Chains A and B, each alone.
Chain A
Amino acid sequence: DADVTQTPRNRITKTGKRIMLECSQTKGHDRMYWYRQDPGLGLRLIYYSFDVKDINKGEISDGYSVSRQAQAKFSLSLESAIPNQTALYFCATSDWASGFNEQYFGPGTRLTVT
């Protein structure tokens, strides 16, 4: 079974709709991250969380919100989707105790906003 799972894997939605992307992990890691990837722009950090009570904005948090429901679950919401949020979204995890911040990625969600 995959260590980091994301649902849905593909989603097409309309402008203005609220959608949620979910991430779950069985790695036992405490840190979780949300990235988006766009052609030519690389991976950019949206939000990150060190534990259930610690949520931090990343480089491009505008238009997004997150919820850390448990150590193993981290959700990303688009409150009112817009076309330029069309991208590939990845969740990642890392283990603080390792000291090296090696991040492990989920399979991704391809989101299209029409």
Chain B
Amino acid sequence: QKEVEQNSGPLSVPEGAIASLNCTYSDRGSQSFFWYRQYSGKSPELIMSIYSNGDKEDGRFTAQLNKASQYVSLLIRDSQPSDSATYLCAATSGAGSYQLTFGKGTKLSVIP
């Protein structure tokens, strides 16, 4: 069974700090990785995608991928209370990478 694992949290960080969210995946064939942000009762919103080893930065967000360790992370710099949400990690699975397997999410709380 292909799995994506995340610490459920909650992860609490003070405002202005760096939040670090981690994810591991079991399928070595996974090619593409995504981070979604989901506010309570709302739909997942794609915030980052990463396809090759290394770092990818977009504003305050940095995604990191290490395929050898099967590890994906998301760093949020200068965390704001509006970043408080559940963050879902997803990885492609299946032939042709058309399906996503989602982790159960990490709940982040940014304390003012």
Binding site for B on A (CB under 8 A): 31, 40-43, 45, 48, 50, 58, 90, 94, 96, 100-108, 110
Of chain B, the residue at the smallest CB distance from A94 is: B98
Binding site for A on B (CB under 8 A): 32, 34, 36, 41-46, 49, 51, 88, 90, 92, 97-100, 102-105
Complex contacts, B51 vs chain A, CB 8 Å: 100
* Interface contact A101-B97, CB-CB below 8 Å: yes
* Interface contact A103-B104, CB-CB below 8 Å: no
Inter-chain CA distance A101–B100, complex, in Å, is 8
Complex contacts, A105 vs chain B, CB 8 Å: 36, 43-45
Among A31, A41, A42, A58, residue most surrounded by chain B Cβ atoms (within 10 Å): A42
Inter-chain CA distance A112–B86, complex, in Å, is 23
Inter-chain CA distance A100–B51, complex, in Å, is 8
* Interface contact B46-A102, CB-CB below 8 Å: yes
* Interface contact A41-B99, CB-CB below 8 Å: no
B10–chain A nearest beta-carbon distance, Å: 14
Please, could you name 7 A-B residue pairs with CB atoms under 8 Å apart, sorted by A? A41-B104, A45-B99, A100-B49, A101-B98, A102-B34, A108-B43, A110-B41
* Interface contact B99-A58, CB-CB below 8 Å: yes
* Interface contact B102-A43, CB-CB below 8 Å: yes
